[in-house]
Amino acid sequence: MPTSTPKSKPNNESVSEAERRIERLALHLNPVMGGALNQLEMVTCSRGKLSVETPSLSSYLRGKYTEIQEKIIDYFNANPHLQTPLEISKDEHRELCMRQLLGLVREAGIRPLRCVTDDPAMYFAILEAVGSVDMSLGIKMGVQYSLWGGSILNLGTQKHKDKYFDGIDNLDYPGCFAMTELHHGSNVQGLQTVATFDPITDEFIIDTPNDGAIKWWIGNAAVHGKFASVFARLQLPNYDKKGVSDMGVHAFIVPIRDMKTHQPLPGVEIHDCGHKVGLNGVDNGALRFRSVRIPRDNLLNRFGDVSRDGKYTSSLPTINKRFAATLGELVGGRVGLAFSSVSVLKVAATIAIRYSLLRQQFGPPNQPEVSILDYQSQQHKLMPMLASTYAFHFATTSLVEKYCQMKKTHDDELVADVHVLSSGLKAYVTSYTAKSLNTCREACGGHGYAAVNRFGILRNDHDIFQTFEGDNTVLLQQVAGDLLKQYMRKFKGGTLAVTWNYLRDSMNTYLSQPNPVTVRWEGEAHLRDPKFQLDAFRYRTSRLLQSVAVRLQKHSKSLGGFGAWNRCLNHLLTLAESHIESVILAKFIEAVQSCPDPSAQAALKLVCDLYALDRIWNDIGTYRNVDYVAPNKAKAIHKLTEYLSFQVRNIARELVDAFDLPDHVTRAPIGMQSEAYSQYTQYVGF
């Protein structure tokens, strides 16, 4: 904001805080000449503007799967009848979504299931492109190939792949993933659906024992699905005594509709979950089973099998280990959601920033109005968000690479690492994107409220990302739990997982008394040093980890383990978020250092510095409370963060152009009927 004081108001100490705020607001809306010009000079000219080669930056971002993504976009551009209109009913949207998927597979020749097995990174690239056409289509494709198809590939054995692979791949066998129940979503081990083995007929009997066990929110179930991977408690009869043995949750292939008539099969009840807040192109339904019999071979038996005489065998000795192995093979869904959420954030940020560059409001008297992105308040909303978008891009890209490596090697340590990282990144990124969608809408004022600009559609469709494939609060607790295990392992002399290596030194370097000299260093070179930034992030995480471990030990004596965990739950969630932020920054720094183009590298360094210092400033109270930074250093961080935000604003157009999003993704023709706003359709997201 301008720094000059209105001449009509004397500068004395009797002026109330409220009056001073009113003065500043008045200056913001109707600034005096000198102050406004000085402000704009600082924004546009301070220390010069970086020269960014957008094609080089875009090439570094997009990687090696550009060709197949463009093939998908070109197919839908060439088939306007497959593009989703703004106004469409639930039933029409569902049918269109199925036609879109059929066209993608059978006409465009895209075979996602083969990529799930041969090249998961390509699968996620396909998912990103498909989601840009219609997020409902992306989710429907994910249900078919990642969930239904993935359960066959990851939980079944060769006999299942031989029988079902081609039908799933070409959409002859549309299917569902029936895990969630009405009374149990996050607590998968508490599922109540049962699969009882009948040794006489060599079959499993699938039963829904009560209303709470009805399979709920099952994608593809309401209209299109013919099969379902049903997760149920495997029960075997006891021959030496009455009753049955519960072997834990397993997955079973259950046909739900007749292949010819498409009618529900005997004993299968299918209900429609109806209209939802978003993703209405996906036909979510409810499934109830009444003594549905399936062959013994329909048990997905990679981690546990039942012989003809009813004996159970498994390479894993306990129910908990089998359960962990089963869920561990399903982490691809979380990886995909984290990756897709970043794509949504790119779209929203691009539309809001392009609009803010062209939209002009207010300005100095008798001078042209200025771009609203020249206002510090607008930069504060959008520039750290743009920096976060870049940070999340590199973090989720790294996660995809690690997931691909895990699928090739099946290394136990890598499996555990990917499980926790995918949980944390999915929770953190989807929560941030959900909040940012509202911020982008508000940043575009009244125009942002028109449906054609896509903010409402994006917000509603993305909202459920925070819940499915694991509730975000539950997933963050998994991250916190693993951090505590790593913490205890350190004191027992064990080795740490790769991602947690910095904890080796945390209780020594990071938790020692802060250096009285470095806490006062205020120089720009020091504050923009990646080592200072990463040390600050990790210091905070380590302090949180140590303090919550002490609290849990204290409260467990009086409250027990469960009660102590609940008492410290908010602390644990903060710990998990802090750790994930440390991981994100580390990956961003690696990406900056690996960038081969000097122009792109300079731009990324600027954006990375803004991401890091903005996060530090947002939690400056924590650093001040433990004297990690002195008061003057805190002020220097704040000033430098504002300066970096100004600098990122100067290259904001190039930064969003580097995402290289298809025109149909960011162009929403707001006000095309009005001459006053036709200029926006030339370039802006509207």
DSSP helix/strand/coil, 172: coil
Percent of the chain surpassing pLDDT 90: 68
Helices then strands (H, E): number in the chain? 25, 13
pTM across the whole model = 0.86
Alpha-carbon distance of 232 to 289, in angstroms, equals 11
> In the predicted model, what is the mean pLDDT of residues 126-153?
94
Could you list the residues known to form a binding site, using ranges.
180, 219
The residues near 635 (Cβ < 8 Å, ≥ 6 apart) are none
pLDDT category of residue 172 using cuts at 50, 70 and 90: very high
The amino acid occupying position 39 is Q
Residue 422 C-alpha from the chain's centroid: 9
Interval 566-609: pLDDT, tens: 999 999 999 999 999 999 999 999 999 999 999 999 999 999 99
Pairing of strands 175-178, 227-237: parallel
> In the predicted model, what is the mean pLDDT of residues 56-69?
91
Average pLDDT, the chain: 86
> In the predicted model, what is the mean pLDDT of residues 406-427?
91
pLDDT at 56: 92
Find out whether 359 and 676 touch, Cβ atoms under 8 Å.
no
> In the predicted model, what is the mean pLDDT of residues 107-121?
91
Other Cβ atoms closer than 10 A to 662: 18
pLDDT at 184: 84
The residues near 6 (Cβ < 8 Å, ≥ 6 apart) are 23, 26, 27, 32
For residue 379, pLDDT beyond 80 = yes
DSSP states of 574-595: HHHHHHHHHHHHHHHHHHHHH-
Query: Taking the alpha carbons of 57, 58, 62, 64 in that order, is the dihedral positive or negative?
Result: negative
Catalytic residue among 128, 181, 329, 469: 469
The amino acid occupying position 481 is G
More confident of the two residues 399 and 488: 399
561 burial (CB, 10 Å; 0-12 / 13-18 / 19+) is: exposed
Find out whether 75 and 103 touch, Cβ atoms under 8 Å.
yes
Interval 17-39: pLDDT, tens: 555 444 444 433 443 333 332 33
pLDDT at 266: 97
For residue 535, pLDDT beyond 50 = yes
pLDDT at 536: 92
DSSP 515: P
Percent of the chain surpassing pLDDT 70: 85
3-state SS, one letter per residue, for 121-140: HHHHHHHHHHHHHCHHHHHH
Alpha-carbon distance of 24 to 35, in angstroms, equals 12
pLDDT at 495: 53
Find out whether 267 and 214 touch, Cβ atoms under 8 Å.
no
> In the predicted model, what is the mean pLDDT of residues 321-343?
88
Query: Taking the alpha carbons of 668, 672, 675, 676 in that order, is the dihedral positive or negative?
Result: negative
DSSP helix/strand/coil, 47: coil
> In the predicted model, what is the mean pLDDT of residues 617-631?
90
Interval 221-232: pLDDT, tens: 999 999 999 999
Find out whether 193 and 243 touch, Cβ atoms under 8 Å.
no
The amino acid occupying position 526 is H
Interval 301-325: pLDDT, tens: 999 999 999 999 998 888 888 888 8
Q: Name residue, tokens 């088939």.
A: 79
pLDDT at 45: 34
pLDDT at 69: 92
- Residue 97 corresponds to which tokens in the numbers above? 């979504």
Q: How many CA atoms lie within 13 A of 529 on its CB side?
A: 12
317 burial (CB, 10 Å; 0-12 / 13-18 / 19+) is: exposed
More confident of the two residues 34 and 481: 481
- Assess whether 469 carries a catalytic annotation: yes
For residue 451, pLDDT beyond 90 = no
Find out whether 539 and 513 touch, Cβ atoms under 8 Å.
no
DSSP 87: S
pLDDT category of residue 422 using cuts at 50, 70 and 90: very high
* Total residues belonging to the chain: 686
pLDDT at 490: 65
> In the predicted model, what is the mean pLDDT of residues 509-521?
63
Find out whether 304 and 250 touch, Cβ atoms under 8 Å.
yes
> In the predicted model, what is the mean pLDDT of residues 318-335?
84
Alpha-carbon distance of 18 to 310, in angstroms, equals 78
- Residue 541 corresponds to which tokens in the numbers above? 């995480």
pLDDT at 360: 83
The residues near 616 (Cβ < 8 Å, ≥ 6 apart) are 533, 536, 537, 623, 637
More confident of the two residues 364 and 669: 364
Could you list the residues known to form a binding site for FAD, using ranges.
180, 219
Find out whether 403 and 332 touch, Cβ atoms under 8 Å.
yes
pLDDT at 566: 94
pLDDT at 185: 77
> In the predicted model, what is the mean pLDDT of residues 490-501?
54
Nearest to 468 by CA among 221, 214, 180: 180
pLDDT at 242: 66
